[in-house]
Structure 1
Amino acid sequence: MRQALPTDGQGLIARKVGSGSIGPVDLSIGHGACLCVAGRSGAGKSTLLRILADLVPHTGEVWLDGQAQSDMAAPLWRRSVTYVAPDSAWWAPRVRDHFQGDATHFSDRMRLPRDLLDAAPDRLSTGERQRLALIRALLGKPAVLLLDEPSAALDSDAVLRVENLLGEFLSEGGILVLVSHDDAQIQRMATDTLVLERVPA
């Protein structure tokens, strides 16, 4: 039976979602808000992001501004609800070939050398790939960003630059779901938090 859309219906809403050992989980995130997801390793944080992005089969339902995930083709849903993995896939010969549009504005904001855009992805450090994956996602202009440890490999200066960009995304009405093990980052970014507990086998 289809889940009824909660009253109001704006923002990202999930009701009784689950997959494998995670769930059921309920959440509701308004525009301009950041939900930080925490929990021990194996609690299902990454799985929850993948559920929200329609990347894994799951129970329950997810809505974005009243539109049900189950009523949309998965690729169309992911244009609006974009998941960025800890180490995203790169398939083209040059970094810039992965971008929809000009990435130089964002790369300059991140203090990344412009010649990185012409480099082969496998020549980049993990931290460079993390920042470029975030730029790639932002250029797609999603309504929702699902970020899985986006600054785990970054120094403190780079972390703050990433957070500044995410703050601008939120100020423009974006919705952010952020998985982080960094308590200080959660304190800076979160408008709400969700702590997942590992379910015993």
Structure 2
Amino acid sequence: MSEPALFDFVGVDVEQGGTRVLRDIDVTIPEAGITVLVGRSGAGKSTLLRCCNRLEVPTTGVVRFRGRSLSDVDVLEHRRTVGMVFQQPTAFPGTVLDNLRAADPGVDEARGGELLRHVGLEPAMLGQVADTLSGGEMQRMVLARALATRPSVLLADEPTAALDTESSAQLESLVLRLAKEGMPILWVTHDLAQMRRLADHLVALDSGHIVYTGAPGDYSDRPMVAGETET
């Protein structure tokens, strides 16, 4: 029996400035575990991910979320359900608590402390000015901010790319824990070693096309697509 679908892409093309960056995409993202989107820079990974959050809209085709076309859903409500973390963590002006309240104005100190603990930060940091955090701390704060709306899905667009090795390992550990707790996650990377550490399911792209879907172990035996890295 097949796994339930989280996202379904049916005949999806995306054009940007007259260039097709996604071509004839037909893929199902399963409801459970961590699905890693892998491929070289410019392969279309981030564009596919952004389609899941309505940050990109297909030129043709349909994207469905749990069976419902994204063209039929309220965008703001969908983005509260589907949280997203980007490659470069961005702090809003003010304290860490102010940043959490930017996602959900109802976050009080108790809830804020709970969110910080969940991502491995100390509740005492709530009053710290957000842009004084280290890169790893800021990315975890951004993740806490994404979790403030109690999303049921997390999208992550190369969130460790700007982090040092220790901070990357901490974030990977955190994401594995979230997946174990039952949150489906879509994670973009060009790093095959990271893919092997995280992936339950794999979607590989090259030049806007899907070139592989399936188990990460099977993909490990294939030649690397240009631009993928081993670390």
Relative to the length of structure 2, the TM-score reads: 0.72
CA shift, 1:75, in A, is 0.8
CA shift, 1:114, in A, is 4.1
Aligned partner of 2:50 in structure 1 is 50
Structure 1 pair 180–8 and aligned structure 2 pair: CA distance change class (3 A): closer
- The residue type paired with residue 12 of structure 1 is F
Equivalent runs, 1:135-174 vs 2, <5 Å = 135-174=144-183
Gaps of at least 5 residues in structure 2 are 16-20, 209-231
Write the deviation string for residues 54-90 of structure 1: whole angstroms up to 9, x where unpaired. 0122132222222221111111111112222112443
> Contact 1:131/1:150 (CA < 8 Å) preserved in 2?
no
Structure 1 pair 124–8 and aligned structure 2 pair: CA distance change class (3 A): closer
CA shift, 1:109, in A, is 5.3
Percent identical across equivalent pairs? 33
Structure scoring higher RCO (CA < 8 A, sep ≥ 6) equals: 1
Write the deviation string for residues 104-134 of structure 1: whole angstroms up to 9, x where unpaired. 3453455435444323333233332212111
Query: RMSD across aligned C-alpha pairs, in angstroms?
Result: 2.6
How many residues get paired? Answer: 194
CA shift, 1:183, in A, is 2.0
Which SS does the other structure have where 1:11 is aligned?
A: strand
Structure 1 pair 161–8 and aligned structure 2 pair: CA distance change class (3 A): closer
Equivalent runs, 1:11-30 vs 2, <5 Å = 11-20=6-15, 21-30=21-30
Aligned partner of 1:80 in structure 2 is 81
Relative to the length of structure 1, the TM-score reads: 0.82
Question: Which deviates the most, 103-112 or 141-150?
Answer: 103-112
Question: Which deviates the most, 132-141 or 155-164?
Answer: 155-164
Which SS does the other structure have where 1:196 is aligned?
A: strand
Structure 1 pair 8–111 and aligned structure 2 pair: CA distance change class (3 A): closer
Equivalent runs, 1:109-188 vs 2, <5 Å = 110-188=119-197
1:186 and 1:147 map into 2 onto residues whose CA distance is: 13
1:164 and 1:8 map into 2 onto residues whose CA distance is: 25
CA shift, 1:186, in A, is 0.9
Gaps of at least 5 residues in structure 1 are 1-6
Structure 1 pair 67–188 and aligned structure 2 pair: CA distance change class (3 A): same
1:160 and 1:127 map into 2 onto residues whose CA distance is: 10
Aligned partner of 2:39 in structure 1 is 39
2:57 and 2:66 map into 1 onto residues whose CA distance is: 21
In the alignment, does 2:97 pair up with 1:96?
yes
Write the deviation string for residues 82-105 of structure 1: whole angstroms up to 9, x where unpaired. 222112443342221122432334
1:177 and 1:143 map into 2 onto residues whose CA distance is: 12
